[in-house]
Amino acid sequence: QVQLVESGGGLVQAGGSLRLSCAASGRTLSRFNMGWFRQAPGKEREFVAIINYGSTMTYYRDSVKGRFTISRDNAKNTVYLQMNDLKPEDSAVYYCASASQPFGVITTRRADFGSWGQGTQVTVSS
């Protein structure tokens, strides 16, 4: 059973940056696509970014393209989300997720991710 633990969230002013980390244990992540999702109060959890198992493909929701960068270090079993030029609308709990199946295709569907972290709060003040 894989365990995912996010860290790096916090309070930042608009225009600032944060780097989220997701450390995994119990499973080697190198065979799995990894994603970041977020959930704001009163809203559904939404896709933010995904990186494939080989780090050859990434995909982002439109609103974060050019500002967020997802990366991974398979040697450290860790995935990152670098967030620059943060906006108040980026405020949410951010979740790391591991795809259910190894060597899968890029997907934005929550149902395709079987393991989730507990989340880390990101708050952007205006």
Q: Quick one: tokens of 88?
A: 């108040």
d(CA 46, CA 43): 8
Q: What is the pLDDT along the chain (126 residues), one digit of tens a residue?
A: 889 999 999 999 999 999 999 999 988 889 999 999 999 999 999 999 999 999 999 999 999 999 999 999 999 999 999 999 999 999 999 999 999 999 999 999 999 999 999 999 999 999
Residues 6+ apart with CB under 8 A from 88: 14, 124, 125, 126
Number of helices (H) and strands (E) in the chain: give both, helices first. Answer: 0, 11
d(CA 54, CA 44): 29
